[in-house]
């Protein structure tokens, strides 16, 4: 599997290209502010774009979707949408074939109700659900609880060696692993949901005290 991470502008956004090297079938994830750059790179490697996914509906992740549709003929898929060619709906546990690979959808609400993470082989693209050393912004009520459950029940059920590619360059590195996040991410070092919310409420003070940017 080939994975290319792109710095797409905006608020340190990341976009991604994933491909099966054998069949040259590829998918774009969150093209955001630089759709032409990603499509041009894919064409340079003779990849055929099969899918375009948005991890959630915020503008900084979807604003390149129209350009990608024009360039590739592929409409971006968000949670709840059905791919016209495969007939598969973007829902929790749904699988999309990509050459010899399989794309699995994880519904991870919290930051938004329609948030998804995209799991392929040993790699997960986490959008704004999980960052390196941080988590997505939520309210301190239902949104926080949904995110807490998404993180613990979905992402931290993945194998330790799973590579984590986030939607923004907000951490100390552009990627991580599930094991590293479990061991070092302050939100996962909290013993329960109440402590998780307490950290969210006091995040600015925590960052200042621990030298986190």
Percent of the chain at pLDDT > 70 equals 100
Q: pLDDT band at 58, cuts 50/70/90?
A: confident
Residue 61 Cα to chain centre, angstroms: 10
Q: Residue 24 carries which DSSP code?
A: T
Among this protein's residues, is 128 annotated catalytic?
A: yes
Catalytic residue chosen out of the listed positions 20, 30, 114, 128: 128
Catalytic residue chosen out of the listed positions 20, 30, 58, 114: 58
Catalytic residue chosen out of the listed positions 20, 30, 107, 111: 111
Position 105 pLDDT exceeds 90: yes
Q: List pLDDT tens digits, range 60-74.
A: 888 999 999 999 999
Catalytic residue chosen out of the listed positions 20, 30, 56, 114: 56
pTM of the model: 0.96
Catalytic residue chosen out of the listed positions 168, 192, 198, 210: 168
H/E segment holding residue 61 = helix 59-62
Position 194 pLDDT exceeds 90: yes
CATH of the domain at 94: 3.60.15.10
Which domain does 63 fall in, by range? 2-210
What pLDDT is recorded for position 61? 81
Among this protein's residues, is 60 annotated catalytic?
A: yes
What pLDDT is recorded for position 60? 84
Query: Which tokens hold the place of 118?
Result: 């995209």
pLDDT (average), residues 172-191: 96
What pLDDT is recorded for position 167? 97
Q: pLDDT band at 151, cuts 50/70/90?
A: very high
How would you classify the pairing of strands 13-20 and 163-166? unpaired
* Count of domains for the chain: 1
Strand partners, 53: 29, 77
């Amino acid at each position: 599997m080939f994975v290319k991470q792109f710095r797409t502008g905006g608020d340190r956004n990341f976009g991604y290209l994933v491909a099966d090297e054998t069949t040259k079938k590829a998918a774009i994830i969150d093209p955001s502010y630089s759709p032409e750059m990603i499509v041009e790179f894919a064409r340079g490697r003779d990849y055929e774009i099969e899918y375009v996914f948005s991890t959630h509906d915020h503008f900084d992740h979807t604003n390149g979707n129209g350009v990608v549709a024009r360039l590739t003929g592929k409409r971006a898929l968000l949670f709840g949408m059905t791919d016209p060619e495969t007939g598969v709906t973007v829902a929790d546990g749904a699988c999309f074939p990509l050459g010899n690979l399989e794309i699995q959808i994880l519904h991870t609400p919290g930051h938004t109700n329609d948030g998804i993470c995209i799991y392929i082989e040993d790699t997960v693209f986490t959008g704004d659900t999980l960052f390196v050393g941080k988590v997505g912004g939520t309210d301190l009520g239902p949104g926080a609880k949904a995110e807490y459950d998404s993180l613990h029940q979905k992402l931290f059920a993945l194998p330790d060696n799973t590579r984590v590619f986030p939607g923004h360059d907000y951490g100390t590195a552009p990627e991580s692993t599930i094991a590293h996040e479990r061991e070092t991410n302050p939100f996962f070092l909290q013993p329960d949901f109440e402590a998780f919310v307490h950290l969210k409420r006091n995040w600015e003070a925590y960052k200042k005290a621990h030298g986190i940017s």
